[in-house]
């Protein structure tokens, strides 16, 4: 069997095992449950509010929440995990094993994808209970949501891995990635159409995956009549697919050489230096 294929299969198995372990780890459960419950509470308080002549406020908010979850899990999740595991020696141990970095990355992708899909299922179930209109999206809408989520994860996870490999501390990695996601959320109209914003802001927003994640989710769940307020008065499914696919390809081309360079530079002394800095911050 091809060694790389064998390691990838081990990575798949590792990701599945770690996902099952995360379901029994109080810290992991608390983080995932609390973050998802907060979003469910937002829908709860919006369930009776309506946008005159359009639809319920919760119905409009739901696609934005799903798009944000995909970006959050894909970028911030990977950055946080990689920066922590550079500091605790996990990456150094992976480097010491033949094809270990490949197995490590496959395992992390599987773990974070399963966690992201779990959050997606919880949000969809909660949404169907509090926003019955979501059922009108049908099977096609549900499949679109799943497809857009997977594309969004594939586009943002490699970028998260790049950022995580370049950052020397978990605090800096988390802060930088949250700043990036927060800034893009502000201009990308993930919770609202950006057609009324300045043209140059629209151009910047459309260059990044977050805008297209929000647009894709809205196209899956909202009535077709609401496409009138989008740029060009359309959901632009072809453009959405092409842009997200372009980000997937670009990320996949960019991430491997940077990660290989980072792996070559990993050493016991570098890891100990990071640990010493962490202890100084704690002290």
Q: Which is more confidently placed, 148 or 25?
A: 148
Q: Which is more confidently placed, 1 or 16?
A: 16
The 10s digit of each residue's pLDDT in 174-185 is: 777 778 778 888
Using the CB atoms, write b or e for 25-58: b if 16+ within 10 Å: eeeeeeebeeebeebbeebeebbeeeeeeeebbb
Q: Does 272 reside within a domain?
A: no
Q: Does 274 reside within a domain?
A: no
Rounded CA-CA distance 215/26 in Å is 35
Q: Can you give the residue range of the structural domain that contains 198? A: 3-267
Q: Does 147 reside within a domain?
A: yes
The 10s digit of each residue's pLDDT in 75-94 is: 888 887 887 777 777 777 77
The 10s digit of each residue's pLDDT in 34-66 is: 777 888 888 888 777 776 656 678 888 888 888
* 83-89 long-range Cβ contacts below 8 angstroms, 24+ apart: 83/164, 83/167, 83/168, 83/169, 83/170, 83/172, 83/173, 83/174, 84/170, 86/164, 86/165, 86/168, 86/266, 86/271, 86/274, 87/169, 87/170, 87/271, 87/274, 87/275, 87/278, 89/271
Q: Does 280 reside within a domain?
A: no
Rounded CA-CA distance 251/253 in Å is 5
pTM reported for the whole predicted model: 0.85
Q: Does 275 reside within a domain?
A: no
The 10s digit of each residue's pLDDT in 145-171 is: 999 999 999 888 888 887 777 776 667
Region 187-199: mean pLDDT is 81
Question: Which range among 6-10, 56-60, 257-261 shows the weakest confidence by mean pLDDT?
Answer: 257-261
pLDDT at position 275: 63
pLDDT at position 283: 53
Q: Does 278 reside within a domain?
A: no
Say whether pLDDT at 281 is over 60.
no
How many domains does one find in the chain? Answer: 1
Say whether pLDDT at 268 is over 70.
no
Q: Does 15 reside within a domain?
A: yes
Q: Does 279 reside within a domain?
A: no
């Amino acid at each position: 069997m091809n060694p790389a294929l064998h390691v990838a299969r081990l990575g798949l198995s590792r990701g599945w095992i770690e996902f099952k372990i995360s379901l029994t780890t109080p810290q992991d459960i608390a983080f995932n449950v609390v973050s998802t419950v907060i979003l469910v509470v937002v829908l709860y308080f919006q369930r009776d509010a309506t946008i005159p002549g359009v639809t319920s406020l919760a119905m409009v908010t739901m696609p934005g929440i799903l798009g944000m979850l995909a970006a959050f899990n894909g970028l911030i999740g990977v950055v946080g995990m990689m920066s922590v595991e550079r500091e605790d020696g996990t990456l150094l141990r992976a480097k010491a094993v033949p094809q270990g970095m490949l197995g490590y990355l496959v395992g992390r992708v599987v773990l974070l994808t399963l966690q992201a899909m779990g959050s997606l299922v919880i949000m969809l179930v909660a949404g169907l209970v509090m926003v019955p209109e979501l059922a009108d999206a049908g099977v096609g809408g549900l499949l679109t949501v799943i497809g857009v989520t997977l594309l969004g994860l594939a586009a943002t996870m490699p970028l998260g891995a790049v950022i995580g490999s370049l950052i020397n501390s978990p605090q800096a990695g988390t802060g930088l990635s949250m700043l990036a996601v927060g800034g893009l959320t502000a201009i990308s109209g993930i919770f609202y159409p950006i057609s009324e914003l300045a043209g140059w802001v629209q151009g910047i927003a459309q260059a990044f995956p977050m805008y297209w994640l929000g647009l894709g989710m809205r196209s899956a769940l909202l009535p077709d009549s609401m496409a009138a307020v989008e740029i060009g008065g359309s959901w632009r499914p072809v453009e959405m697919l092409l842009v997200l696919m372009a980000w997937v390809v670009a990320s996949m081309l960019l991430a491997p050489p940077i990660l290989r360079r980072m792996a070559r530079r990993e050493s016991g002394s570098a890891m100990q230096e990071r640990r010493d800095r962490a202890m100084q911050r704690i002290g």
